[in-house]
Each structure stands twice: as C-alpha cells, then as structure tokens.
C-alpha cells in the first residue's frame, strides 16, 4: 500500500500529517534556500533559535499557556522526564526547606542549617504518585530507584479493588496525599491501558488563596487533544512522538516560580550531605531554561516538525485546542459506539467513565475464543489498510490510537470495520 491508502493507529511513534512531512523532507535537503538542510544547520544559529521561539509561542497560543510558565525542549523522552521531575522538584523542596530552616533558627551558620535540613529530609520529604496504569507505575518505580522507597508515597493504586488490573481511577475520597509533598504525580492518559482522567482531579485543585499541591502530569499521549487548566499544574511534560511531532524531543512546561530567581537548585555538595541524588546536568530545568533549550545539541529538525504541526493546528482550528478537542471526541465516540453495538464480540477494557479519547483498548471474542478472534481482527483490518492496531505487548488485545493526525474519515473507516467484523 502507499501512504495515502493506510490509516495508521499505532500508539507511538504516531502517524504524522503528510503535508508536514512533505515540508520536512524539503527542509532536510535545503532549509529556506540556504543550501543546507535543517538537520545540518548549527543549533546555535539564528535560524535555529527562531524555530525554537516560534514553536514555543505557537504552543503557548494553542494551549493558552500563561506567561508565568517556561517551556523547554529536551532530548530526555518521556522516561527521562520521570527522572527530571524527581530531581528538579525535590531540589526545589530542599531549597524551600533550607530557606525556612535558616529563618526558623535565625542563623546563617551553614553547618547548623544542614544538620537540621538532613533531619527534615529524613522525617518530611515525600513525593506522591497516583498509579493508574503502566506509565505512572514506571514513573513511580523511577522515583523509588532514585530516592529510595522511604521517600515515595502511593496516593492510590488503581489495581487494588480491580483484580490487580488497570482500568479504573480510584475514588478520590480514598486518595492518601502526603502533607507538603515535593509534588504529586499523575499520568493524564495511560497509553497502554486506555485510561484517561476525565478532568483535572478535584482532590488536587488549588485552594482559594492559591496554595495547594504541587502537581506534575505526564501528558505524553494526550497533549494537544483537549483543553487543560495549565495554571493548576507546576509541571506538565510530554514526549513529542504522539500528538506533537517526531521522536527525539520532549517538552516540559514549568511554572517559573520553580526557576531562578525564585528557586535555585541545591548544589551537588549539599545534596551529597543530605544523601539525595545529584541530577545529570542535562536533566536540570534551570540550566536548560537559562540556555533557551540549547545547553547541549538539540535536534532542531524535530523542533521544526513540532512547530509545523502546531502551525497546522492553529490554521485548522480558529478556536485552537477546543476545536481539536471537539473532533477528538467525535472520533472517539464513533469508535466506542461501534464497539458498544456488539457487546457479545467486543469488551472495552477500561471502565466507561475513564475511557481514553486517544487510546481505545478492547478485547475481541468470537465463538468463545479471544486469541483467534483478535488474530482475525488484526489480519482483516490490515487487509483493509487499517494498521497499527495491536495492543501493547504487556496487556495484549487491540488498541486503536486515535491521535490528532487520524482524520475523521479514518475513524469512520475503523468504526465501519468494527461493525462489519462483528456481523461477519
């Protein structure tokens, strides 16, 4: 088949708009008549900084990111951001406690402050994780690996009271938040398990006086697909390779109050005295922010693709992310409705109230046989050029990733196929 024939529902890297790829392939050969391709130009050139600047501005416009947030591009991937969020927000917690202790004991005797700080780390430092699927579980495991289990609190684990499986979001009244945690973490959309938070969790909402939990969210697989209340978060991060662009960059949107001059990360020697891990320099947000995302060599080609995707979104939807959200909901409804019409054949994995609009996970059964039915489903779908539908290897089943680049007609084709397969 040719590119024009297929609809690709893979979970990531994802399908990219063909017109963006056409522009990118030209840019790879010769960027704007410079005789040099975009991947060859220096990341320190004016041309590169303009590409970064425009991508940042377009992202801020599309998502209405307030001006007290900094956006940075990194190479860390989503997984690197699991570690970066721990290092940077624990560092900010340490800096706050350092200042508070200096004030409390009214001295500038650094060794007395460090003694008190060490005790406070041991008694009070906590990072909070809400585990709702495979990716938040991985982020939690990374925090345990870096800090040690004594500092990591599980606020809720969706597998409890659900036969050890993901597919629900535990009732917020049961969540066990730590007092003054360095942050509380959740994954807004669980790519493997098809679970998406229907809205910002009210248990984490800021109070009237503006204080409240320091909220971190992984939005790797649903960013740009729906409106988010950015100001409720201290940090939002995502890899580019689903809704934003090609594999190779990750984005962090960080509240500026976690950066200098408000907060300066603790020195390596202080962290050593406190028994806390020292971040690799390329995971330090303050270093990257200070250097306009160019502390080290950044893939400008990947930022260029992300920028073109954003420009296309802004051209297509005058109401920005709200326009895309309406389309994403329409496409997801088409597919879920087709599945619901044949309950004897299809079983949607997550509970209805937390179904993802981006990753639609389901099982197929015919004549009491799941394996055979799913193999047949995948084979016949592929023969109709509906590809990338195999579920994640850890959970099996079928997964239709309904990212922004899936056109409405693509979702219609899949819904029709789902109906016909059940009837056949």
- State the residues that interact with ligand PLP by CB under 6 A: 12, 77-79, 135, 187, 191, 218, 220-221, 239
Helix (H, G, I), strand (E, B) or coil at 6: coil
For residue 46, what are the CA distances in angstroms to 42, 43, 165, 313, 367? 9, 8, 50, 25, 63
Q: Which is nearer to ligand PLP, 218 or 374 (CB)?
A: 218
Residue 78 or 213 with smaller CB distance to ligand PLP: 78
Q: Which is nearer to ligand PLP, 44 or 165 (CB)?
A: 165
| Cβ–Cβ < 8 Å for 170, 157 | yes
Q: Select the residue whose beta carbon is closest to ligand PLP and give its number.
A: 78
Shortest separation between residue 49's beta carbon and ligand PLP, angstroms: 24
Burial of 312 (0-12, 13-18, 19+ CB in 10 A): middle
Pick the closer one to ligand PLP by CB: 37 or 77. 77
**Closest approach of Cβ 193 to ligand PLP, in Å?**
10
Spatial separation of the C-alpha atoms in residues 21 and 38, rounded to whole Å? 13
| Smallest distance, ligand PLP to C-beta of residue 170, A | 19
The CA distance from 69 to 52, in Å, is: 16
Pick between residue 97 and residue 359 the one whose CB is nearest to ligand PLP.
359
Residue 212 to residue 231: CA distance in whole angstroms: 12
| Location of structure tokens 């789902």 | 418
Question: For residues 303 and 43, what is the distance between their CA atoms, to the nearest angstrom?
Answer: 11
> Between residues 12 and 391, which has the closer beta carbon with respect to ligand PLP?
12
Please state, in angstroms and as integers, the Cα–Cα distance from residue 90 to each residue in 97, 128, 151, 263, 342, following that order.
10, 11, 10, 12, 49
The least distance separating ligand PLP from the CB of residue 299, rounded to whole angstroms, comes to: 13
What is the H or E stretch that residue 42 is in? none
Cβ at position 98, least distance to ligand PLP in Å: 31
Output the smallest distance, CB 246 to ligand PLP, in A. Answer: 12
């Amino acid at each position: 088949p040719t590119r024009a024939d297929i609809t690709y529902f893979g979970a990531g890297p994802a399908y990219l708009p063909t017109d963006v790829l056409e522009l990118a392939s030209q840019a790879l050969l010769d960027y704007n008549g410079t005789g040099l391709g975009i991947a060859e130009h220096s990341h320190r050139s004016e041309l590169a900084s303009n590409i970064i600047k425009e991508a940042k501005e377009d992202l801020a416009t599309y998502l209405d990111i307030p001006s007290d947030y900094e956006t940075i591009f990194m190479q860390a991937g989503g997984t690197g951001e699991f570690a970066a969020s721990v290092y940077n927000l624990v560092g900010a917690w340490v800096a706050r406690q350092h200042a508070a202790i200096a004030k409390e004991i009214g001295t500038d005797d650094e060794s007395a402050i460090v003694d008190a700080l060490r005790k406070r780390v041991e008694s009070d430092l906590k990072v909070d994780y809400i585990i709702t699927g495979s990716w938040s579980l991985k982020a939690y495991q990374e925090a345990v690996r870096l800090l040690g289990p004594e500092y990591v609190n599980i606020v809720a684990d969706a597998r409890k009271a659900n036969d050890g499986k993901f597919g629900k979001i535990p009732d917020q009244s049961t969540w066990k938040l730590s007092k003054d945690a360095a942050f509380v973490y959740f994954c807004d959309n669980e790519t493997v398990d098809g679970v998406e938070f229907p809205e910002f969790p009210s248990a984490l909402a800021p109070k009237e006086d503006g204080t409240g939990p320091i909220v971190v969210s992984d939005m790797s697989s649903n960013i740009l697909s729906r409106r988010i209340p950015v100001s409720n978060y201290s940090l939002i991060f995502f890899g580019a390779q689903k809704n934003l662009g090609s594999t190779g960059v990750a984005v962090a949107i960080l509240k500026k109050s976690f950066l200098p001059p408000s907060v300066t990360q603790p020195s390596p020697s202080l962290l050593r005295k406190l028994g806390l891990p020292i971040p690799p320099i390329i995971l330090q947000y303050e270093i990257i922010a200070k250097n306009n995302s160019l502390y080290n060599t950044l893939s400008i080609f990947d930022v260029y693709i992300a920028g073109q995707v954003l420009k296309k979104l802004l051209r297509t939807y005058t109401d920005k992310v709200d326009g895309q959200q309406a389309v994403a909901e329409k496409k997801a409804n088409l597919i879920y409705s087709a599945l619901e019409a044949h309950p004897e054949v299809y079983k949607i994995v997550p509970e209805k109230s937390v179904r993802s609009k981006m990753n639609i996970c389901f099982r197929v059964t015919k004549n009491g046989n799941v394996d055979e039915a799913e193999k047949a489903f995948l084979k016949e779908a592929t023969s109709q050029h509906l590809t990338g539908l195999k579920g994640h290897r850890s959970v099996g089943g079928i997964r239709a990733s309904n990212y922004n680049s899936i056109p409405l007609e693509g979702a219609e084709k899949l819904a029709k196929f789902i109906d016909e397969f059940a009837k056949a």
